[in-house]
A and B are shown apart, each in its own frame.
Chain A
């Protein structure tokens, strides 16, 4: 439709053309949703499948398609609408200040949050969840964002880390702090194990192989019942201790040793700082690695592998290092996960989890962007669950968590169309001549960033 002759804005032919494509969109929407949405199947009282018509919803969806297309055609048809050129310069400098101080402010907030919200158990648990995803996102960003290797099986390493800690702690009685490096190393070994065979593969084939690898790990966990207990999962995994001091109400517990009144919140706050520390470690390692030769090799590899090879860069080592680094960080996150949950089962390590982490990375595009994407997408849907007015609109059984993955999928497609390098993708070069120039988002295209 972009190739057609461009009708004038709001002229009669323009409106006619817009109406035509809006009608077409409404018809397509009607076709797509007629049976799929219009007829709900469920098991009836007799045990057989029964149909329940929902024609109203189809009509609403078709109307949305009509109005949406009409509005888009009338407002943007034939014009490359460039938002950036319409922003006044004053606002741009203001935005520049905000972005300079935003990351430190966010970090400060993350550090003092448990002190401010110490009594809010729900908020702390949610923050721990978000921080776990931020850490996983930053870890995957090394593989996907820096080295440009699309990894669809990242959750496999997370699973290796989680099961390593669970098995080591329950069978050999090792403490969390001993298991953490072991779990990381085991996960890194699996990363290299995956890395070796895929060295020769091109982008999309590599992605599919990592997907298959992730599924194999999950299937092995499910079926290797004597070790992993299969679907039943591993329970009563020991919780982490404060350098040997457990968080319980006993006389040798954390509260008693430090002369405090016992509350289960101490463990939550401790776990919060552990995952914050792990996430910051990930960010720090990433930042430092980017300045090392291997980091520069990763970025060169991402831009053009053939050019890399012809310039004499050994592509094997950077690829393996990227997989191993990413896997090790996922292994850390995994052992934290199993220590926090106290129970793990294969259901926590499905492809959906890999896709969630990948879409956070794709959405973010930069370390700060990844953190924001995790906060908005994971925290946002959790908080929507609590909002009463949404329940008033959509009915009592409205569950935003159900829509989370739909939103993730939608976001992935839209980001690829509008901003393929992520929402916040300003980059600083790691190597520069006399002054460090920030590369603006507009310039970060293939081969220019």
Chain B
């Protein structure tokens, strides 16, 4: 099984985890992406959304499990075909929530280019933007190194 281990800077990443956990907590009862399910009858829509929410919560739990005792000892997190898809989806969900909750005042073009000047943001928005970029970096690493495992899985 192909596995990549990433050494993260503890002083940089550890302070971001509280905000990431808050976003995950906020996602506990809601879906990250907008839903367009008006064509479904109510019973099906309810079951559909419950299934999506269950999957989203499971992905977020698996993502947060990366930041365990070993991470705080060594700064290392590992990705393989067993967790890559869940981590990718969790990062997407958390980034969507951060954009909705903490970064809603940034224009789309700034968000799309990840080009915000953090020195021009308030402290809360700057931290949220660092989380947003950090999660994108994890996604890029997984896509770059584990795309075959994901596509074949």
> Are A and B associated in one complex?
no
A: residues with CB less than 8 A from B are none
